[in-house]
Amino acid sequence: MQRAPRHTALAPADTSRRRRVRDQPVPPVTTQGDTYSNPPRYARYDRGPMPVAAMAADYLPGEVTKPHQHPHAQLIHAVHGVMVVSTDEGQWIVPPTRGMWMPGGTMHWIRMVGRVQMRTAYIRPDAAPDLPQRCTVLGISPLLRELILAAIDIPLPYAPDTRDARLMRLLLDEVMLVPSLPLHLPRPTDDGLRQICDAIVSTPDTALTLADWGERLGVDPKTIQRRFARETGMTFGQWRQQARLLAALEKLAAGSKVVDVALDLGYESPSAFATMFRRQFGVPPSVFFR
């Protein structure tokens, strides 16, 4: 059963900060066609007139948000904990060194790995030209991280051409500069491919080959490979590798040892796993979350 997130103004590490949010009317919130008389707290931020508005929300381990969407785009970042962000198109792993760009109007839900201290910014679609139009994981530079933390203390509304407005403008500029990262696991629409993908996600160390799946589904393996390329932009092997690496991130975030993760996910040795991990993420698994 999904549980509603527990929101708090600030995490313990931020107790020196004082929130100065002014009361303002909150419009009705529509989620999957339903209108709520008691809108969630984010309704003060995700549909207002300000180009950028930011807030803090904390979650317990294992909590999952209900599927929902925001009129404005959302930059989802956690200063502590790991998030698994899902849409109908796939899922993304978002560790504390990264952020998730979620275009406005995208139905999504988030599962928390460990205790999560989320610090998120909502960005109006016309706040800047050429904003990303697809879900993607972004690198969070030290400057962008501090801008997000500062932004949650800015009261709404703020006046143009003030220090607060300039800070939000700089946050936007930084979002446009940071690189996107390969932390996405695309979800195909083909029923047969979904059966394969669901099996790999639930059992990442499965040894079933493309030929095995072809026999199970009664489909030529070459047909399966073509469908994978068409629907995910990856080969079967690339998709399975990505699924294993993202599963590894979850396990590492939960405190598992590198050697245990490597063997649990079907790698022949920790060194083979570390080599694949470094090739994909640029750093070895032992230092990824530092």
- Tens of pLDDT, residue by residue over 218-233, are 999 999 999 999 999 9
What residues contact residue 159 under an 8 Å CB cut-off, 6+ apart? 165
Query: For 109-123, what is the mean pLDDT?
Result: 95
pTM of the complete model: 0.74
pLDDT at 14: 41
Confidence of residue 290 (pLDDT cuts 50, 70, 90): low
Q: At what angle do helices 236-253 and 221-232 cross, to 10 degrees?
A: 60
* Residue extent(s) of CATH 2.60.120.280 domains in the chain: 12-181
Which is nearest to 99 in space by CA: 175, 43, 44, 172? 175
Whether the per-residue pLDDT at 26 is higher than 60: the answer is no
CB neighbour class for 2 (10 Å; exposed up to 12, middle 13-18, buried from 19): exposed
Whether the per-residue pLDDT at 7 is higher than 70: the answer is no
Whether the per-residue pLDDT at 9 is higher than 70: the answer is no
- Tens of pLDDT, residue by residue over 180-235, are 877 889 999 999 999 999 999 999 888 899 999 999 999 999 999 999 999 999 99
Whether the per-residue pLDDT at 23 is higher than 80: the answer is no
Q: At what angle do helices 236-253 and 191-202 cross, to 10 degrees?
A: 40
Q: Is the bond leading into 5 cis (omega within 30 degrees of zero)?
A: no
* Residue extent(s) of CATH 1.10.10.60 domains in the chain: 188-287
Query: For 13-38, what is the mean pLDDT?
Result: 39
> Above pLDDT 70, what percent of the chain?
86
Is the separation of the CB atoms in 117 and 78 below 8 Å?
A: yes
Confidence of residue 178 (pLDDT cuts 50, 70, 90): confident
pLDDT at 165: 97
Place of tokens 């629907």: 231
More confident residue, 30 or 260: 260
Q: Is the CATH code 3.30.2350.10 the one for domain 12-181?
A: no
Whether the per-residue pLDDT at 56 is higher than 90: the answer is yes
Query: For 86-112, what is the mean pLDDT?
Result: 93
Which is nearest to 75 in space by CA: 33, 9, 12, 119? 119
- Tens of pLDDT, residue by residue over 255-279, are 889 999 998 888 888 999 999 888 8
Catalogue the long-range contacts made by 10-17 (C-beta closer than 8 Å, 24 or more residues apart): 10/56, 10/152, 11/56, 11/58, 11/79, 11/80, 11/117, 13/79, 13/80, 13/117, 14/56, 14/149, 17/149, 17/152, 17/153
- The mean predicted confidence, pLDDT, of the chain is 85
CATH code, residues 188-287: 1.10.10.60
Confidence of residue 38 (pLDDT cuts 50, 70, 90): low
The residue type of 207 is A
> Above pLDDT 90, what percent of the chain?
60
pLDDT at 268: 85
Place of tokens 């016309």: 126
Whether the per-residue pLDDT at 33 is higher than 60: the answer is no
